Amino acid sequence: MRRLLPALAVLGSLAAAPVEAQQTIKLTVAAGHPPAFLWVKLLDESFIPEVDRRLAAGGKYKIAWTKAYGGTLAKLGAESVAIKDGVADLGFVSTIFEASRFPLQNVSYYAPFGSDQILVVTRITGDLQRKVPAMADAWTKNNLVYLGGAALDGYQIWSNFPIRTVDDIKGKKLSAPGPSANWIKGTGAVAVAGSLTTYYEDIKSGVSDGALTFATGAGAARLAEVAPYVTLVNFGSMYAGGLAVNRKRFDGLPPEVQKAFREAGAEYSIRFANEQTIRAVEVLKQMQAAGAKVYELPPAERKRWADTLPPIGKTWGAEMQAKGLPATDVLQGYMQLQREAGVNIVRDWAN
């Protein structure tokens, strides 16, 4: 018994020693779009699981996620405000719909006929945000920390009439909202405002004769049913936005959690680009199998189309410069980074 007493004492002291509890952090993630869109779907299937996996390995922290997608907490085009104000802690910010807050992030829309590689455009935009203070400041001024981005697959045209040359769209009405309306300036076509939620009915009712959009969006909107002519003009992949977290909330997180967020954000960017690319190819195949007539514009005609347009890049750059933003540097940087990535430049929009 006397020999057992020291061992029992040690066991007793171990039992009495406090066990460090795993800390639970409550966070709300939001998006204006529903999970049907890949950039939101991968919040659930890539970003969140990757953060959880990394934290589980450390054993110190875990996150209790509250998910608010489809505009239930942050409306489309106002996601950055919801995250900035702390209504949500993090989410997907659609910079394409927040041009007043992120004007320079929309540079790709003013340099069409560029790369159709999603990851290339995402990385180029990310590089510019690191190199150009004004681009990074857009996130900082909105009380946000940027974690990773997403670009859309190449823009094409879905129409109810065949297109073989740029001359074929003269006199036609094409749904081309926002900056994409610039892609038909000087062609004789008329740009009609709209969105993926209105294109189908607009074409069906005659409000427009077709739409400029990307394959994955056109597939979700079933555009080939009313616009069976698919013309692969390839206006290029366009940067659409990125994951961001409230800066004050992020700064208050333990370093281990911050690191998990940044790493998961980088993973998200790569996975999105890869999956979106695969989806775009599959959508076009499905449309063609269902009877859609797919035609790829020859390189010479694609260049002729680009040369037909006014200097939309320089015009945008001058307008932004007048507001005190270094858009000319951003545009020049965008064109140069594409060259370095091996992209065949059809037209230099910076000159």
**Cross-strand partners of 208:** none
4 CA to centre of own chain: 66
CA 186 to chain centre: 28
Helix axes 327-340, 312-322, angle to 10 degrees: 140
Nearest-angstrom CA–CA distance, 118 and 239: 8
Q: Sorting pLDDT into bands at 50, 70 and 90, what band is 1?
A: very low
Please determine, for residue 313, whether its predicted confidence score (pLDDT) is greater than 50: yes
Residue that has been written with the tokens 């790493």 in this structure: 263
| Tokens of residue 209, six digits | 């004769």
Q: Provide the pLDDT for residue 36.
A: 84
- Say which residue the tokens 């977290």 belong to: 245
Q: Which distant-in-sequence residues (6+ apart) come within 8 Å of 100 by Cβ?
A: none
Q: Rounded to 5, what percent of the chain is helix, strand, coil?
A: 50, 20, 30
Q: How confident is the model at residue 156 (pLDDT cuts 50, 70, 90)?
A: very high
DSSP 3-state of 173: strand
Per the CB < 8 A criterion, the answer to whether 215 and 154 are in contact is yes
Phi and psi based region of residue 36 (left: phi greater than 0; alpha: psi -120 to 50; beta: remaining): alpha
Q: Is the pLDDT of residue 19 over 60?
A: no
- Between strands 155-159 and 210-214, the pairing is antiparallel
pLDDT value of residue 20: 60
Secondary structure class of 26 (helix, strand, coil): strand
Q: Which pair of structure tokens corresponds to residue 229? A: 């002519």
Quick: pLDDT tens for 130-142: 999 999 999 999 9
Q: In the predicted model, is pLDDT for residue 188 greater than 60?
A: yes
Phi-psi region of 208 (alpha: psi -120 to 50; beta: other; left: phi over 0): beta
Mean pLDDT of 182-195: 94
Whether 90 and 25 have beta carbons less than 8 Å apart is answered as no
When pLDDT is cut at 50, 70 and 90, the band that residue 3 belongs to is low
* Strand 144-152, strand 173-175: pairing: unpaired
Q: Does position 350 have pLDDT exceeding 80, yes or no? A: yes
Q: Which domains does the chain have, with CATH numbers?
A: 23-152+238-281 (3.40.190.170), 155-236+288-313 (3.40.190.10)
With b for 16 or more beta-carbon neighbours within 10 A and e for fewer, the 18-39 pattern comes to eeeeeeebebbbbbbbebebbb
DSSP per-residue codes, 30-84: E-SS-TTSHHHHHIIIIIHHHHHHHHHHH-SEEEEEEEE-TTSSS-TT-HHHHHH
